[in-house]
Every structure is written in structure tokens, then in C-alpha cells.
Structure 1
Amino acid sequence: MNHWVIYLDNNSNKKGFIKDFKKGKAPLNFLEFENKTGRLFSPFTLEKLIDEEDKHDKKIISTEHQSLETMSSGEQKRALLHHLLSENPDYIILDNPFDNLDIAFQEQLKDILKNHSSQISFIQLASRRADTLSFINNYGKLDKNEFSIIENTEFSEGYSTETFSHVSIPKAITTYSCFQNPLISFKNVNIAYGDKRILNNINWTINKGDFWQLSGTNGSGKSTILSMIFGDNPKAYGQDIYLFGNKKGSGESVWDIKNNIGYYAPAMTNKFNGRHSIENMLISGLTDSVGLYTIPTELQKRIVKQWLTLLDLHALKDTYFNSLSTGKQRLVMTARAMVKRPPILILDEPTAGMDDDSAALLIALVNKFANETDTAIIFVSHRKEKGLKPERILDLIPSKNGSSGIIK
């Protein structure tokens, strides 16, 4: 069987390639797949199935006990893969199959794919070269719309050496209360939903300037912990949780808490689908708005100019945000979360779906935040990102009694 990997960067027209392939307009190198039955293992497929199940109130790949929409990302991918394999296609296109999956399930997925590789051809679209499946025997890359074969598969990982060392992190123009340590404290926190235990005796303290990575398998409780810090999870009330010196549920509003925290997750990018310039995107981080609807002050413009210079984007300041590559959008959004120099910065899977070079650039920026500011950073990721330098790791280890937290 012929199996392909096609390496992507954040300028690759992946959607166009998939669309053309399904219409029989694939590059000549893929003529063997013409008139054959194919399937797509992709978030696009999951979105379509979720929509169909919701509209028609029927189960397609949902189980008796859980709908597709309420499954974790890992459970969704597992259900989708088994569904596609059961249809016995000639080939399956794998769209960044390991994104948002914990290491254990990545290994399970690799084994499943390898076991079927003698009956089904796989065409893997990969942003990370380390994700390449072991049985791949053909290599290519997609440069915007142009596909080409890679003859030599022994290439470097291509990590950027950029470290943003030429400009310091701009100063804050927002004045925060003089918070004392700890900024966040969890003491023997236990969370359950009905009979399902999620967290078991979590003890975690975050002080000014700390740099933490929060890790754990899919479903281990990472999102639950974040929702108790940044969200309005009612399960937090009655627990021994302190945020900025106040016990959770002692009268503060969720907006009071959010005002002291910078937060970014890739899904937030979809909120900014209007015609916002890069400059206005960063200024909106100072005003906590989706878009800019007030005239910025000279001080705001001066600080944002420094941020644009730091990101090497000043020449593009009037460029529309939604016209940028994924990599540049993530840099802007990460900087936007930090532009107020908040006491705490939470980055939730910020490198998911990024190519190697773009991810390395973002990691360099986060390391710079840690080195030059007293903002406490919580970096959430399934991956062990090359070059990331957290001081400590809180690893959630699941059990029947809920996940315990191991500090490394």
C-alpha cells in the first residue's frame, strides 16, 4: 500500500487541497486514488456530523450514553476513526490526526492506523514533522496551493532561532491592585459530576512570576481546573479555592476575576472575523473588547507600537487580522492577552494546529514573557513543546477517584 505524508505550514491551503482531492482534482502524483472510495478524518468531518445529529435528532456515531457534541476531543476522534474504518474505504485523509490528543491516545491511534495500513491507504496532512506515521513511504509538502514531492526525508525540524531579544516587553499602562502571594491557591479540591469523580485532592499554589505547564490526558480535568479559575464553574463554590486573596464565591463577579487574567485559546480567534487591523486588535486587548469601538489614546497607541515592533509586525499594522497566517494570528492573540501585563496569563493549547516554525516562535515569545515580567503563566498543552521552559509542571493523573495532581 502507498501511504503519504504531506507537510503543511501555516500558509498552506489545506482546505483547498482537501476539496480538490475529494473532487478528483488531486495532483498527478495521486492518480492511483482516482475513482476510489475515500474518507476524511478531520475536524471538518466532526463539525458536519455534529450538525447533522443536532438537526435531525439522530445518532450517526454517537453512543447510547453520550452524544458526539458532548464528547471530549479525544473521544470524538476515537468515535470518528472507528466509524470511518467500519466503512472500509480505499483511503483515508488524516488531517493533523494528533492535534489536541494526549500522548497515550496518540500512541493508541498510531497502533490502530498501523494495523489497518495493509488494507487502507493513508494520506496524512501534518503540521508537525514529529507526528509522521512510521509506515509512511511517500513524502510531500504543500506550499500555499503548490504540491511537491520531497525526495530526501532526512531534514532538520526547522525550528526558528528567533528569540525576540531585540526589544523588551513593553511596560504596563494598567494599574492592578497590589496582590500578595499566592495569586491562586487550591487546597484539597475535590470535584465530581454525579457519580463521576473529576478531581481528587488537588493542591496547587501559583505565585507572582511562576511559569507552570498544566498537563494531563484527555478528560483528566484540565478544563475543569481552568473553569474554576477563569470561568464561573459553580463547582468551585464551597471548595477551598482562593483567587487574588479572596475565597472563590465570596462576592466577586466572574468579570472581576477575568479583569485580572489574560487568557487565550485558539477558538477565540474565530470571534474576530471582522475587518480589524493588527494594531486595533492589540489596542482592543487594552480595552477588553472584541474589536475597537473607541478612539485610542496616544498612550495606548504608543504602547501598542512597542508591541508591534517586538512582534516585527509594525510594517503590517494596518493589515487585516483575518488575512494573516495562522502563525501570525496566534502571535498577535498571545500578545493581546498579555498587553495589559496582567497578574496571570493562561494559554490554553496555544500551539494546536501550528507548524513547527510558527510554534517555536510562539514558544520563544512565551519564554520571554516569563523571563522579563512578573506575570504568572499557566501554559496548557498535551505536547511537550521543544524549547518551552516552564519552572514547574502540574500533571493530572486520572484514577477512579478522580485525577490527582503530581507536581514535577
Structure 2
Amino acid sequence: MNEILTIHNSCIKFRSWILFENLNFSIRHGEHWALVGPAGAGKTALLKTIAGDFFVADGKIEHHYYQRYRAEHQISDPLFSPRHLIGYLDVRHDFTNLSHTRDFFYQQRFNATYAEEAPTVEEYLTEQFQKAMVQSPWNLERVIGEFDLEPLLRKRLIMLSNGETKRLCLAAALLKNPRLLLLDNPLIGLDRVSRRKFDELFKKMAQSGITLVMVTSPRHIPKVVTHVLVMKNSHEMLEYSADQFKPEMVPVNHNPISLPDEKELRTLLNGEQKKNFRVLVHMNKVKVRYGAVEVLNGIDWTIRPGERWALSGPNGSGKSTLLSLIYGDHPQAYANDIVLFDRRRGSGESIWEIKREIGYMSPELFQYFPGNFTCRQVIESGFFDTIGLYQKVAYDQQEKAGRWMKVMGLEEDSDMLFTDLSTTRQRLCLLTRALVKNPKLLILDEPCQGFDEGQQQGFRNLIDAIAQISSLSIIYVTHYREELPKCIEYELKLT
């Protein structure tokens, strides 16, 4: 038998929603698949279907690799199932603290005292290895070496950069020694060097007998991929060999971010009259260290009203730490010479006065924002700078939130719980939250992660249009210059 996995005429459900009807898909020995398509096409849903996360209401899914493994090995565990042979890399990590609870919060990474509640990288990897039922060929020594984790072993999980977290999570998934490895956008948030390293690692995984299935961008398909599934939606899919596939075969998203006319945009940007500032950010020889580890050193940076900046640098260079000093989340701001909105840090201002002037979107916010609020409530929380909505929203604020939702294509999601939205819709929701209060400074830390090309271009066009008719200052973080809006004029590059 040549098949690894076969899905036969299956109806797949999640709660009361039908995700797929008459789904057919198969993976054969030696194949490695990329799932591509516009946002909302069902790529992650298919990945989770293979993982066994959804109910198969009709048809069947055959895990041939599992049946072969059972035939070749003596299995004493009566609960042994296909899940034991599947590795899954999600877009969010599932780290727990030393009490084995998931009550991390998004500012915790920057606070050394709270960070002590998190395990170290070494403790986390050891625990994952001990839980694995199969302990070769990917063991502790190998993943530490292949993923260059030796320098991180004593680092607390919560202190890792986004790129470091991605490396660690993939290493942990490999410690399970899965027969099938499912990867949801494994390359987002990685710089060019890291992407090349991952390309080599994927090749080594395949050589070790692991079958790879990944959701990825049509323009960033790893070399290991042999086949591409182009998903237009949940019932229209086309299969290609990697040699046949071209990115232009992926359909355009028909629900991209829309660009309002100038009158509507001026209305949206015409909020309460705010104070004008001479300087929004001024940093003089700023440094941040945790014990003997130096994260930032000698940073000089001044941002004035109307300036639009790119903040760049490789994974782990300190970009998110630098932004946390501006947004008021980092306690070491008080030990540095920093002026925010014409006031020196530590001169009596509250962090809420700082946050009031800033719209903010980051991978940390995406990771930790609670899922029990509706899409509208998440957006309206932007008026109050709270992680969740806990105050009464005025009528004019409700109206404004609704108009922004229309611009961002989120009207139909208004009453959906944040946790039930697709990851792309969640990011759109948080971006709208950052824009809704007309901030003086907009901080966008890799804002378009997971967006398809139509959404990325739509968002860049929106930022350019806002910049053209307002004095909004912007800090925009991305690893790729082609992802920057045209309005970006300056760059601070960390090394």
C-alpha cells in the first residue's frame, strides 16, 4: 500500500458548522504537500481535519501510516491513536508556566520578575522528549543542534523572540518523532536567513521518514514540497505537482480590505481633538539587559509628528523589546533616557496616558488576546486600551467601530467570538482595534502575518491613504521591504 492518508467523501463538522462536504484528499508515500489559497479558503481547517480535531459526520479518514505502525510495533497503550504519530505546529504556541497553567499575559515577556514563572527552554524540551512514545531519530541532542538552541537553553520561554519561539515549537514537534507533521504557516515572522535554515531542516525531516503537510504562502513554498493543493474555498480544490504550480494559479481574495473614498476616510479620522506634540519618541543611548544578556545597547531614536518609520532587523535583534519601551509595557523604560509625547518617562505620567496616544498591533497581542469577546468588542476595546472590553461604549464609538469594520471587511463577523474567527480574521480584528481611536502613533509589528496577497496590498493601500491626509506617525516592522507601505520614509535597523 502506497498511501499515507486518505479522506473519502467526508463531511467535516465543527460544532454546528459544516466545514467540508464530500471532501476527498490523499497523501502517498514520498509526497510532501503545501496547502495554498486565499484567506478563508479552509487551509487550516483541512490541516486540523487531518489532525483529528473535527468531527467526521460522514465518509471516513484512513490513517494508513498508523495501521502500518501498529502492525510493525508492539503497542501496550490501549489509548494509542493516530494522534500519537502526528506532530502539529500551530500559529500560536501552547506554552504553560511552572504550574502547568496557560495564564501568561502579553506584557510578561518584558518583566523579568514575572518571567521566572515560565520554564526554561531546556526544561520545556526535556518535558516534551519524556512524553514522546517514539524517541528516535529526533532526540534532544539532535534538535538542540539542528535548531541552534544551545544558546537559548537557559532562557525562559516567555522571553523568546517570535523567531526563536517558532524554532523551539518546531523542534518540540519533532521530538514526538511523528510520521505526519502538520505545519500552519511555519515561515511567517521569519527573516530570510531563518527561512533558508528552515528549508534545509524540512529536507532533513523528509529524509528521516516524516511526511510534511503545510499551510504556506504561494510565493514561499519550501523546496521539499512535491505537491500543491490550491484551495479556492472549502469545495473547490485543484492538485498540482510542485513543478507545475505557479503562484498566479491561486485565486484572488474577493473580500479584501477596501479603500474608502477620501470623504469617508476623513470622517473616520476626525475623532476627538488631541493635543499636538513636538516629539513623539526620543531615545538617548537606550539599553536593556536581563542579567548578563544584553538585548539593546546605545539606541538613539527620535520620531516627530508625521514621520513614518520602518523598524527592521533579524529575528532576536530586539525589535519587540524596543517597541515595548515605547508602548509602556517594559519596566526598564524608567531606567533609560526616554521621552514620549513631550514627557520624560518617570516624570509622573501613567502608562494609560502613553497608550492613549498609540494604536498597537503585535504578534504578542495576537498570541494572548482573550478569545471570549466578540469581534466588535475586541475592536471597541481599542478606545480604552484594554485587553478585552470592560467599559460601556458610547454611541458615537459604536458607530465609528462599525464603519471601520466595514472598511476592513469584518461586518459579517461582528457577533462572532474572537476564538471562533479564523486566524486571519483575528489579525484583521486586532488591526482594526489599533486604528479605531485615531492614534497619534501607529505601531504595526508584522501586521500582515498570514494575510493573502490581496489583503496585504489592501492594507498597505489603506495605510498610504491615511498617511496622505493625516499627520499620523507610523512604526512598521517587517522583514521584507516589499511589504512596506509607500509612505514609509525612514528606517531604524537593528543588528
Q: TM-score range by the shorter chain?
A: 0.7 to 0.9
Match of 2:289 in 1: 192
Residue number among 434, 437, 445 corresponding to 1:337 in the alignment: 434
Alignment correspondent of 1:391: 489
For 1:171, the equivalent position in structure 2 comes to 269
TM-score normalised according to structure 2 size: 0.68
Secondary structure in 2 matching 1:97: coil
Paired residue type of 1:153: F
| Aligned residue identity for 2:184 | D
Asked if the contact 2:282–2:303 (Cα under 8 Å) also holds between the matched residues in 1, the reply is yes
SS in 2 for 1:382: coil
Question: Which shows bigger deviation, 300-309 or 190-199?
Answer: 300-309
Aligned residues of 2:265 and 2:466 also touching (Cα < 8 A):
no
Deviations 1:131-150 (A, max 9, x none): 21113111113455547333
- The gaps in structure 2 that reach 5 residues or longer are 1-29, 70-84, 102-118, 127-151
Q: How far apart are the structure 2 equivalents of 1:44 and 1:304?
A: 27
Q: Any idea what SS the aligned residue of 1:359 has?
A: helix
Question: Could you say if the C-alpha distance between residues 131 and 310 of structure 1 is closer, same or farther in structure 2, counting changes exceeding 3 Å?
Answer: same
Shift in CA distance, 285/55, structure 1 to aligned 2, threshold 3 Å: closer
Partners of 1:225 and 1:96 in 2: CA distance: 26
Contact 1:265 1:348 in 2 (8 A): yes
Counterpart check, 1:382 vs 2:471: no
1: CA distance between counterparts of 2:422 and 2:327?
Answer: 28
Shift of 1:61: 0.6
TM-score by length of 1: 0.80
Q: Which has the higher contact order (CA 8 A, sep 6+)?
A: 1
**Structure 1 pair 30–100 and aligned structure 2 pair: CA distance change class (3 A):** farther
Shift of 1:36: 5.8
Aligned pairs (5 A) from 1:156-235: 156=248, 164-166=259-261, 167-169=264-266, 170-180=268-278, 182-235=279-332
The answer to whether the aligner puts 1:43 opposite 2:90 as a matched pair is yes
Flag the 1:127–1:114 CA change in 2: closer, same or farther, 3 A: closer
Aligned residues: CA RMSD: 3.6
**Cα distance between partner residues in 1 of 2:372 and 2:236:** 31
Change (3 A) 1:239 1:96: same
- Contact 1:127 1:356 survives alignment (8 Å): no
Q: Structure 1 regions of 5+ residues with no counterpart?
A: 398-408
Shift, 1:340, TM fit? 2.2
1:363 aligned counterpart, secondary structure: helix
Report the counterpart of residue 320 of structure 1 in structure 2. Answer: 416
Note the 1:5-404 alignment, pairs <5 A: 5-13=34-42, 16-23=45-52, 33=65, 35=67, 38-43=85-90, 46-47=93-94, 50-51=95-96, 54-55=99-100, 59-61=123-125, 65-85=154-174, 88-142=177-231, 145-146=234-235, 148-151=237-240, 152-156=244-248, 164-166=259-261, 167-169=264-266, 170-180=268-278, 182-268=279-365, 271=369, 273-274=371-372, 276=374, 278=376, 282-288=379-385, 290-291=388-389, 293-294=391-392, 296-297=394-395, 299-304=396-401, 306-311=403-408, 316=412, 319-320=415-416, 322=418, 324-386=421-483, 388-389=485-486, 390-397=488-495
Cα deviation digits, residues 176-225 of structure 1 (max 9, x gap): 22211x21111222222222121122111111111112122222111211
Q: Deviations over 1:57-113 (max 9, x none)?
A: 893515752344543333333334445545554342222111222222121111122
Code of the aligned partner of 2:259 = F
Q: Decide whether the 8 Å contact of 1:159 with 1:360 is kept in 2.
A: no
Aligned residues: 390
Percent of aligned pairs sharing the same letter: 27
The DSSP-based 3-state class of the residue aligned with 1:51 is: coil
Q: For the structure 1 residues 158 and 369, does the alpha-carbon distance in structure 2 shift closer, same or farther, using more than 3 Å as the test?
A: farther
Using the TM superposition, give the Cα deviation of residue 115 of structure 1 relative to its aligned residue in structure 2, in angstroms: 3.5
The offset of 1:31, in angstroms, is 6.8
Following superposition, the deviation at residue 383 of structure 1 comes to: 4.0
Q: Would the aligned equivalents of 1:172 and 1:339 in 2 still touch at CA under 8 Å? A: no
For 1:74 and 1:219, locate their aligned partners in 2 and report how far apart those are by CA, in whole Å. 7
Alpha-carbon distance in 1 for matches of 2:44, 2:383: 34
CA offsets, 1:129-169, max 9 Å, x none?
12211131111134555473333512426666866153424
| CA gap 1:350/1:78 in 2 versus in 1, 3 angstroms | same
